[in-house]
Amino acid sequence: MSSQQPAPTPAQAWEGRYADIDDYLYGTEPNDFLVTASADLPIGDALCLADGEGRNGVYLAQRGHRVTSVDLTVSGMAKADRLAELRGVEVTTVVADLSDYDLGENRWDLIVSIFAHTPPPIRRRVHGSIARALRPGGRFVLEAYTPDQIGRGTGGPPVPELTMTLSGLRTELTGLSFESGLETLRAVVEGRGHTGEGAVVQVVATKP
C-alpha cells in the first residue's frame, strides 16, 4: 500500500506560502505597473483579483479608492487586513475562488489583475466578465507573465498554460477598448517571490 500523500490543492499550496504572518512573499509595496496605470484615475470603487497578501489593494486604498480585495486564501486576506491596519486604511477582503466568484454588473470603476495566474478555463471566465462588471469608462489593469518567463527562475507559473499573451488577452477581454498592450522584459522586484528580469504582458483597457 502506498503511503504517498496526495498533492496539495492550489488553495492549500498558497495557504502554505502565505502562512507566516510577518513574511510578505511579494513584499508590501505595490506593483510598479499598477502605480503608473492608475495614477490618473479619479477616486472610485476598485476590485483587486487574486490580491494575495493585499499589497496592491492597500496601495489603492491609500490613494483613496474604495477597495475590495479577493483571494483564494484565508492567510493572504488576513495579511491584507493587517497591512491595511498598519497603513491606516480600510480594505474589504473576500476569501473566494475566482472559478465561481461573481464580479457583479456595472459595479467597478477599476478592476486590477496583477500576476493573477489561473487555469485557462477560470481565466477565460473571469476575463469574459470584466466588461460586464465595469461601469462605463471603467478601467482594467493587468500585468502577467508570458510563456517566455518559463525557465527564468525569477518567479511566475511553472507551466506555459498558466501564462498569458497579448493576442490571447485581446481575444478574451471582449467588450473592452485597449488603451495600451505590451509584451516586454522588465526587472520585477517584489519581495522574494518575484526578483529579477521577467517576461511580462501589460494591458490597460477601458469599457466604452
Q: Which residues contact 124 (CB under 8 A, 6 or more apart)?
A: 172
Asked if 45 contacts 92 with a C-beta cutoff of 8 angstroms, the reply is no
- What's the pLDDT at 3? 57
Give the residue extent of every domain in the chain.
Answer: 10-15+24-196
- pTM for the structure as a whole: 0.95
- What's the pLDDT at 10? 86
Q: Which residues contact 13 (CB under 8 A, 6 or more apart)?
A: none
- What's the pLDDT at 135? 98
Helices within 38-165 (DSSP H only): 55-62, 74-87, 120-133
Fold that domain 10-15+24-196 belongs to in CATH: Rossmann fold (3.40.50)
Q: Is 184 exposed, middle or buried, given 0-12, 13-18 or 19+ CB atoms closer than 10 A?
A: exposed
Profile the chain (208 residues) by mean pLDDT over runs of 10 residues.
71 90 93 97 98 98 98 97 98 97 98 98 98 98 98 95 98 98 97 94 98
